[in-house]
Chains A and B, each alone.
Chain A
């Protein structure tokens, strides 16, 4: 008879177990986030059991496990089988599990293996060490097929004996770590169609921050497809935060005003100062506590320390720059892993290409920025841009 499918997913979380006072809050948020991502796959029950979560889906348990293993705050997840709390039933199921796992391994290979028992329910009559030996002795097929190795075995059969239930599992899916989204406040991320800003967003979310997205759109210098590209990026990031708002700010009037009033070389820096102003005001209106950008020191002309200072000076909120110390290759590696890279690589112009200066300023000066801005109705431009915002409610993958 073939092995029955696993009936639940054990979810372990790392860091949050350490956070004494906040722990309950973190566990609740993690459970909420897990329910949220699992809901479209299968109706499920999520239980909290001392220091871990147990997800019991009505169907598609493997897909649920894979999905759960991507949720921020999860250290690892395992497909598990629940079993009656007696040595006989445990041994029987353990044998089936091991045989099933071995059926994928070529006959000629020897696999290293161990049994690891955790006995949280001290009413269970056999001690952990004794049970490990007892089960291993009973199920090992022979030394040419399986040898015991206590440290770093290829296969580890876990047996968890708890008051709530006894579970057996084989593999661990590694989670992304970090903190559950929603435990570290809310921030507004400036999202372009490029490679960097989605990665900056992802890193910030991984530290538990809930994000909104703001993007600047210079229609009709830039087409609808560019807006869709940004929305596609935000939707992809929705894999880690299911719901988010994307604020699309009309930016044409501002770019025209800067083109007409400011020295050409300052255009890019001045565009970005206006973005910071608009994002700051929008953040205050919508209750975001910080801004997030994909800026990286020295990566392009607008990202020298001088220019970052000029740009940052226009923000009224703390600006988080999680990529500041990244090399481009580091950022690209993450972008590939999280699936934003291929979207970012679709060639679509963004608003910074509009009226792009032929020789942008490398070491911008704040007083020069302010001198140029004194010739413009900055307050009016910001207000009209904010009044024209289109808000898109995103639902992630």
Chain B
């Protein structure tokens, strides 16, 4: 039986159409896009086509798309770059970051604290959603940057970024609004104007492109101090010879994600519903919901032993899931959203994450749920 991959928030498989798009660039089309002969010019043109595709998928202008080596780099460039570009413009400059940001945003913000910025984290409410009133209190004239993710990687929480942007414009007119949309692209409509963001960060491998490519998208001209210096590629915002094959793949993947958006959403809605229904009869299992959410991620509190034990038993039967965010599983930390929901460390360890893509079928999750049911007697015994 073929494996069932339900860990799409960690990474996704490369689709045949994406592989076909990038293949020539690992082969005969190896030119450096800065070279002036046809081989190089063709590479430059391929990058521009990708730029247009990513622009279209995010409602931006092609000239405002800067390719990066991934989501972490795009987020770091925006957080560090926007804050540093505003250094000295206001007294006691403040940086606000969202309550459940990815470590690349959170740790970049914490690095700014060491540079003298006043760095604060926005709170969650008791339902695990963003506490907008609490955020509003943090915003004032001194604020130079607000970083709030669009979709959370652990629970699929969908944050009210549009409201965050509006509130920021009103209360903190000097602030740059950055949105980590790594888990958003392909799952919700990402339009930079409607989100009211100054910058968006994307990652290729979350939507069926390879690892090692992403993008930072801006709304018009924004002040960003480069984090990487070099030969001035990507308008000097991100120097370094372009990852042509990765960029071409990302363009194809972003375009496909945008084309399939509505179909993906309705399909995944059914997939999630099927999983929740199948697990309804598993005693002690309950979905964990942290505020308004997308259907692409479904966190479930499981009975019996820690979710990691379930995870290995599932993987032994060809079902791949995740325990917490794969990025943080090394530290054993309890996530902020779970703490807000009142989970202690023991209960936090019971939480398993299922995450879907537009290729996940109802049959996949039904088989996964069946496997959980089959394992239940043995694993309940494990805790005696």
Contact = CB atoms under 8 A, between A and B. Distances in A.
Interface of A: 219-224, 259, 346-347, 349, 354-355
A220 B382 contact: no
Contact of A220 (B312, B332, B384): B312
Interface string B327-348: 0001110000000000000000
Nearest to B317: A220
Contacts of A349: 308
A378 to B, nearest CB: 22
Given A221-B382, A355-B382, A347 B331 contact: yes
B315 A220 contact: yes
Secondary structure at the A interface, as helix, strand, loop or mixed, is loop
B330 A220 contact: no
B308 A223 contact: yes
Given A259-B384, A355-B382, A222 B332 contact: no
Interface string B298-327: 000000010011011101100000000000
Best-surrounded residue of A220, A221, A222, A354 (most CB of chain B within 10 A):
A220
A144 B316 CA distance: 74
Contacts of B332: 347
A217 to B, nearest CB: 11
A346 B330 contact: yes
Contacts of B384: 259, 355
B312 A223 contact: yes
A349 B311 CA distance: 13
Given A259-B384, A355-B382, A221 B312 contact: yes
A393 B320 CA distance: 28
Contacts of A346: 330
Contacts of B311: 223
B331 A220 contact: no
B382 to A, nearest CB: 7
A248 to B, nearest CB: 15
Nearest to A259: B384
Nearest to B375: A220
In the A-B complex, the 7 residue pairs with the closest CB atoms: A220-B312, A220-B316, A220-B313, A223-B312, A347-B332, A221-B309, A346-B330
Given A223-B315, A355-B382, 13 more contacts: A219-B312, A220-B309, A220-B312, A220-B313, A221-B312, A223-B308, A223-B311, A223-B312, A224-B312, A259-B384, A347-B330, A347-B332, A354-B382
Contacts of B315: 220, 223
Contacts of A347: 330-332
Contacts of A221: 305, 309, 312-313, 382
Nearest to B305: A221
27 contacts: A219-B312, A219-B316, A220-B309, A220-B312, A220-B313, A220-B315, A220-B316, A221-B305, A221-B309, A221-B312, A221-B313, A221-B382, A222-B312, A223-B308, A223-B311, A223-B312, A223-B315, A224-B312, A259-B384, A346-B330, A347-B330, A347-B331, A347-B332, A349-B308, A354-B382, A355-B382, A355-B384
